[in-house]
Structure 1
Amino acid sequence: MSIGNSPEDERPFEDAREEEARPSIGRALRQARIDAGLTVDDVSTATRVRIAIVRAIEADDFTPCGGDVYARGHIRTIAKAVHLDPVPLLERFDGAHGGRPAPTPAAPLFEAERIRPERRGPNWTAAMVAAIVAVVAFVGFTAFKGGDDGNDAVQVAEGATPSTSKPVSPTAKSGKPVVPKSEPSDSAIAAAPQDKVTVRVSAADGRSWISAKDHNGRMLFDGLLDKGQSKTFQDSSKINLILGDAGAIQLYVNGKKIEDTFQPGAVERLTYTKGDPAVG
């Protein structure tokens, strides 16, 4: 009987050699870019990822990405741009960095800001509608009564002697409903207040990671939106957004739908302010 290592004992060494032979994430992306005939500038232009970050990722340096969530988004975007399947690369990245990051819940203070304007708008609109209905009903009632009492009122006005009592004239009756001419303004009907910037993010076509900050840089939300979910953010002057998969997102800014052709899997950094929607 021979003494030595069995074939099973040699398998860990074979697995280790295979792991070493497999290229890293950065080398795989760089080789795929070269095979596709693209330069770093071409990839940066197609993905909107800065040249310095593309070079760092190809060197397996993910520090400039600003965190694991951003790094995963950049890897996915660059891989698609160079025609490479991003799933194996993301699995290797997650295995080397402690797994996929969990979504961060929204801050309670942000939830309070988001709920208030949504409740205020419908109540004000209902009040304006009720006022208009009351005015219309009063005008109809006055016109109906005017046909019966008009002659009597004229006769009293012509035959009565001057007195201290106030005469009830048709002018007073017909003039009273004419005074209120208020109609609901755009700001009363619109859900978004005119003195603030309001951004609604809806995952209409799939799940996507999003990040939102106010004008002071305070984090409003950092996490995943499943398909069909939405979030609304509001600030006095500016909302900064990062969309992990912009192609799955539909945006509504200050009550207006943003018509933009975001590419699936693309990472977008956007800034919106008060007034007409403007991408920063």
Structure 2
Amino acid sequence: MDTEKTVGAILREARLAKGLSLAEVEKGTSIRSRYLEAVEKEEYDKTPGEVFLKGIIRNYGNYLGLNGPELVDMYKAAAAGVAKDSVRSAGIREVDKVRLNIQLKEKRDIGSGTGRVELPSFSVRQCLAGLAVVVVLAGGYFAVPQAIDYFKNRPQSVPAAEEQKPAPVATTSAVLDKVVVEMEANGSCWLEVNADGKEIFAGMLQPKDKKSYEAKDKLIIKYGNIGVMSVKVNGEPVDMQGEHGVAVKTYNRLK
């Protein structure tokens, strides 16, 4: 990838090389053509925001067969005025053994700066086995009290006469004390969530991701690709037919 060219120029040249129009790219990526054009012209202030902008660059690049994450690194470096390598995420290096060389002060040397205890080397497999034991023990620690609470508080048997009494019917006129939005992503979607005037989430949802947000009075949710979302408001499914691309929705508490 030509690092001397701008991100917008690289994307535009790749699109033209494939003979694609902005409308065709919009159809293939579910990203509005005006945002694609803004990125190509580097008019970033015309996009929905920083989180959405990075998602647009990454998905647009991947759609054209380019390296989307590398284009995002180039954008971040250009915005910060630094070299691209300085913002690139460091890779994960695998090793066969992990050597722990922890310096601990012995009781007799507290405050003296002397007394070193060197722990032996452990293999990665040994470390993972030890971690698994800790997880199992921790699960047992939390599960046992819950089991005890269940048997202490489990419902007693009810006489047959009482079992035949109909349960009280909840009325639909009850006022909810909050608004709850549940969602599941069926594809990649950028998301910004504002609850009662405060931003509580900004990031990318991947297919099968499930999220739930609530607010006392009002939730404002900005979707980058609303057409791939399944949404429920206070337990009721929302009809998303005909919805696509970027959308901003406001959900209020029922009064």
TM-score when scaled to structure 2? Answer: 0.49
Higher helix share: 1
Which protein, 1 or 2, shows the higher relative CO under an 8 Å CA cutoff with sep ≥ 6?
A: 1
CA radius of gyration, larger in: 1
TM-score when scaled to structure 1? Answer: 0.45
